[in-house]
Amino acid sequence: GSGGEATTTVQWDPFAPNTLKYERPDGNINSSPATELKVVQRKIEPQNNQGSLVGSNELIRLTTKTSGPFNTNFDIVYAARVQRRWRRSTTEEGDRVVEGLEIVKTYRVLDGIAGIEFPTSTVKSTIRLTRTYPTRPGSKDT
């Protein structure tokens, strides 16, 4: 090997914000191929009366360009439904907290049609973002 670190190349254009492309070359035949994520459907869910701030529901098409033997190139396409919901809270110490719930379901795409009734995988994640007040007694910044 060359001993150097491979750099991930990421492309995103703020004038076309629904598309993100990345590539992670590692210098050998098993390099990660170029991948494109494109939001094809997005719905923003407004704040509700149960303390929820905002939510989103996105359908994303993921396309990975790969190559096979005899210089054959093909795309692997699948879809992901990403649902997020955020709410604001405070800890017992008075620190602000934003808590999130994210559900990601992936689907196979055959002949350009995603079979979104039968996900191939589902991942549920909880996200917790905390900001401590620097003026609070006992905080590291006082």
Q: Is the pTM of this model over 0.75?
A: no
Alpha-carbon distance 45 to 56, whole Å? Answer: 6
What is the reported pLDDT for 3? 52
Residue 74 is predicted with a pLDDT of 80
In the block, residue with structure tokens 């060359």: 2
The Cα–Cα gap between 53 and 124 comes to: 19
pLDDT of residue 46: 82
Residues with pLDDT less than 70, the chain: 1-6, 26-32, 49-52, 112, 114, 116, 133-142
pLDDT computed for residue 6 by the predictor: 66
- pLDDT for position 142: 43
Is beta strand 121-131 parallel, antiparallel or unpaired with respect to 113-114?
A: unpaired
